[in-house]
Amino acid sequence: LSRIERFAAAVSEAGMAAALIMNPPDVYYLSGTGQPCNLLVTPGGEPVLFARRYLDLARRASHVERVLPGAGFSAVAREARLGDGPLGMELDKVPAALVDRARRAFPDREIADCSGLLLAQRAVKDAGEVEAMRASVRLFDAVHAAMCEHIRPGIAEYELAAEVERALRRAGHDGVVFQRRWDAKLPMEGGIASGENLSTISRGPITVTGVGMGEAFPMGASRRRLERGDLVNIDLGLNRAGYHGDMARTYAVGELPDGIEPLAHACREIQDVAMGVIRPGVSCESVYEAAKAAAERVGVADVFQGYDDLHGPYIGHSIGLELDEPPVLGPGVAEPLREGMVLAVEPKLISPAFGAVNIEDDVVVTADGCELLGDLPRCLFAVGESGDVARIP
Amino acid sequence: LSRIERFAAAVSEAGMAAALIMNPPDVYYLSGTGQPCNLLVTPGGEPVLFARRYLDLARRASHVERVLPGAGFSAVAREARLGDGPLGMELDKVPAALVDRARRAFPDREIADCSGLLLAQRAVKDAGEVEAMRASVRLFDAVHAAMCEHIRPGIAEYELAAEVERALRRAGHDGVVFQRRWDAKLPMEGGIASGENLSTISRGPITVTGVGMGEAFPMGASRRRLERGDLVNIDLGLNRAGYHGDMARTYAVGELPDGIEPLAHACREIQDVAMGVIRPGVSCESVYEAAKAAAERVGVADVFQGYDDLHGPYIGHSIGLELDEPPVLGPGVAEPLREGMVLAVEPKLISPAFGAVNIEDDVVVTADGCELLGDLPRCLFAVGESGDVARIP
């Protein structure tokens, strides 16, 4: 069955009459075009792609046979032949004013959220998608090379960001990162943070966020200059051909500060435990619980995924056409893992006492476990002033 | 009156009981913090800032006195003392599912769109905002230098993008661009396009968009390599300290192609005419009409803002904390210009026959006209292989 056919079956099973898809990554996933379009998927009916702009380009890129012009919902309402049940829309993503307009075009019909159905389908990647994500994860090799080349005492976080972005663009990054959450925002080089910025958790989710260039966007690289003995963290969304990787590493400027080596060991141990648990049928929650138990066992529970009252309730999440896809590997998420899911696994130890130690890697769930999508050593790197790089552990 | 007091007056005048502001640039404008917060503005009542995360950081950055923790709407409903009338929310920006949750927290109250009220206030900049935007426009100097240094036969559009991004980051760009439209997306270096990509209008609004790295995001720089005699266009959002500039220039690779010089003259003439019309009290529409009449007079009406059935209905738009603010300088927009508005003025001539010629500059509306925010020559640049740069006209 095609992606659209499988989605139509889920729409039908959920009791919806049809789904109207507008969010660009969702439209791309189902129809094959990145042009702005509304895709009407009706169980038992032919899918219709309405090009909000650039009909010819949408037609050329999409495998959907019926492509019509139409920016508003009245064109959709004229074409739609709907049975009983609500009309699905992506209510987590489409602004309320637009959904209100759809309500007026379909006056007697309930509008229901169909994002969960589509995201559940998107969570399991096919072989081509896994290959695309492998290529995306490999973009981090360029990041790592840029970090090792430019991390020196005196360089500012934003100057490091400039080098990482340049390396990413030259390596084939799409230039933008897609996120599901409506108010999420990320520079191309993600969060670069050093020194005291490592433990200032700001604007984004509870992770190593950095503090940014100013209050208008207090996240990402700042004007802080690296000093000998600092730790530096980079955590970013990699996007190539629409598919994202999510990777993080920690670097030391010159020699490793005292007390960090055991934390690097602990971080790696937690990641090993989490990846050792991942296989089809295991619940998302139990991966988190295993990681948390490992953190307790190695004595870092108080700084695991944050500190004090800031502990991120996750050890990872699904990635794909968006960087922050469900499911989350966190407490209360009973959903079982399925073969073909691609997951970021990201233990981080954060504290004002030492900053942060963070490694994040991406795995695909296989028939009996999981497989790493990249081959960069999962360790902390100490970058000497002559450019020599030591690995810990 | 403070920004919050002026907004409260507008909310009251619109008959709303209060407004609940969630969109980060709006929250930043009113409260001074870029942390994720919900800001409740009640006419006659004290404003309350609810920190969705990181209470301490929100408190430290904001001038609002009453800052409470609270990620959901029930905290807001508990605090709110509302008179008659609907509750305003940013319905053009906040996803429907979140607004539905607000509806459940305020069960007997209508939710109305208050974005227009706030955007009308934001459209008029104070002196500090104009200075911030001047600094943002000056980021384009770094773009221009990078373009002149790297435009040579053989470089790919995405390699040029890498150099422009690096230059922008090093010059102090915030690393992200804020746009109002829910599905808008732009790489930091905006749209770089050359050769046949200049007239392939894709994904975004009707302008010079470029075709991108692939179908997942078919906009911006592509893998096409520049050839001698090409035109190259760059059009991008500049963001420094939260305030955006919007600038564009066209470059020739080596010598100027035949027939382009008169188009560069025409483009400049249209921009001069549009800027000559801008002053307080003039309608947005009449700026557009004057530009269009100028395009007709100089014989380029058929390629003005696009070609065939693709003609962008605008000559510019307001910019500020978001790149694509209202009002648009376009047909049917009767709104009068006001002193302190900052406007992008962007004539472009596009055709498959010659590609595109595009200049975009930003002006602030003064008491009796307008003033350019930058001082880069408003012309086309021909970049020779030895790095010499000629200006046309």
Q: For residue B309, what pLDDT is reported?
A: 95
- Over range B195-204, report the average pLDDT: 98
In whole angstroms, how far apart are CA B135 and each of A178, A306, A332, A378, B369? 28, 37, 48, 41, 21
Measured in degrees and rounded to the nearest 5, phi and psi for residue A103 equal -60, -35
Angle at B84 between CA B80 and CA B86, to 5 degrees: 80
Beta carbons of B243 and B179 less than 8 angstroms apart: no
Of A97, A165, A212, the CB nearest to B92: A97
Q: What is the CA radius of gyration of chain A?
A: 22
- Label residue A85 exposed, middle or buried (CB < 10 Å: 0-12, 13-18, 19+): middle
* Residue A244: count of CB within 10 angstroms of its CB: 29
CB contact under 8 A, B188 and A188: yes
- Closest chain A residue to B192 measured between Cα atoms? A175
Q: Which two tokens stand for residue B289?
A: 């009409």
| Nearest-angstrom CA–CA distance, A50 and B182 | 18
What does the pLDDT look like over A107-163, one tens digit per residue? 999 999 999 999 999 999 999 999 999 999 999 999 999 999 999 999 999 999 999
% of residues, chain A, pLDDT over 90: 99
Q: Which residue in this structure is represented by tokens 């990787």?
A: A245
3-state secondary structure (DSSP) of residue B190: coil
- Closest chain B residue to A191 measured between Cα atoms? B175
Helix (H) or strand (E) holding B27: helix B24-31
What does the pLDDT look like over A42-54, one tens digit per residue? 999 999 999 999 9
| Nearest-angstrom CA–CA distance, B374 and B364 | 11
Question: Where residue B87 falls among pLDDT bands split at 50, 70, 90?
Answer: very high
Question: Where residue A193 falls among pLDDT bands split at 50, 70, 90?
Answer: very high
ipTM of the complex: 0.97
Restricting to B residues 224-283, those with a Cβ less than 8 Å away from any Cβ of A are 240-243
Q: For residue B219, what pLDDT is reported?
A: 98
% of residues, chain B, pLDDT over 90: 99
Q: Which two tokens stand for residue A340?
A: 């073909």
- Closest chain A residue to B115 measured between Cα atoms? A97
Residues with Cβ within 8 Å of A232's Cβ and at least 6 positions away in sequence, in order, are A147, A151, A157, A160, A192, A193, A194, A226, A250, A251, A252, A253
Pairing of strands B48-51, B66-69: parallel
Choose, out of A110, A159, A215, A223, the residue to mutate when testing the contact with B (most B CBs < 10 Å).
Answer: A215
- Over range B73-79, report the average pLDDT: 96
| Nearest-angstrom CA–CA distance, B192 and A169 | 13
Phi/psi region, residue B359 (left: phi>0; alpha: psi -120 to 50; beta: rest), is beta
Task: Identify the bridge partners of residue A245 per DSSP, sorted by sequence position.
Answer: A238
Helix (H) or strand (E) holding A9: helix A3-13
Helix (H) or strand (E) holding B231: strand B231-240
Q: For residue A54, what pLDDT is reported?
A: 97
Provide the mean pLDDT of chain A.
97
Beta carbons of A331 and A288 less than 8 angstroms apart: yes
Of A162, A167, A176, the CB nearest to B185: A176
**pTM (2 decimals)?**
0.98
Q: Which residue in this structure is represented by tokens 């379009």?
A: A37
Beta carbons of A177 and A244 less than 8 angstroms apart: yes
Of A32, A98, A213, the CB nearest to B172: A213
Beta carbons of B220 and B187 less than 8 angstroms apart: yes
- Over range A372-385, report the average pLDDT: 97
- Label residue B377 exposed, middle or buried (CB < 10 Å: 0-12, 13-18, 19+): middle
Give A384-391's long-range contacts (Cβ < 8 A, gap of 24+): A384/A254, A384/A255, A385/A152, A385/A153, A385/A228, A385/A254, A387/A148, A387/A149, A389/A148, A390/A256
Pairing of strands B111-113, B342-345: unpaired
What does the pLDDT look like over A53-102, one tens digit per residue? 999 999 999 999 999 999 999 999 999 999 999 999 999 999 999 999 99
Q: Is the dihedral of CA B195, B200, B202, B205 positive or negative?
A: positive
Q: For residue A262, what pLDDT is reported?
A: 98
Beta carbons of B23 and B90 less than 8 angstroms apart: yes
- Closest chain A residue to B112 measured between Cα atoms? A97
Q: For residue B138, what pLDDT is reported?
A: 98
Angle at A188 between CA A186 and CA A190, to 5 degrees: 55
Q: To the nearest 5 percent, what fractions of chain B are helix, strand and coil?
A: 35, 25, 40
| Nearest-angstrom CA–CA distance, B351 and B196 | 9
Q: State how far Cα A267 lies from the chain centre.
A: 20
| Nearest-angstrom CA–CA distance, A311 and B156 | 44
Question: Where residue B107 falls among pLDDT bands split at 50, 70, 90?
Answer: very high
Provide the mean pLDDT of chain B.
97
What does the pLDDT look like over A304-358, one tens digit per residue? 999 999 999 999 999 999 999 999 999 999 999 999 999 999 999 999 999 999 9
Note the residue count of chain B: 393
Q: For residue A332, what pLDDT is reported?
A: 97
Q: State how far Cα B289 lies from the chain centre.
A: 21
What does the pLDDT look like over B335-391, one tens digit per residue? 999 999 999 999 999 999 999 999 999 999 999 999 999 999 999 999 999 999 999
**Nearest CA to CA, how far is A199 from chain B (Å)?**
12
Beta carbons of A390 and A381 less than 8 angstroms apart: yes
What does the pLDDT look like over B97-106, one tens digit per residue? 999 999 999 9
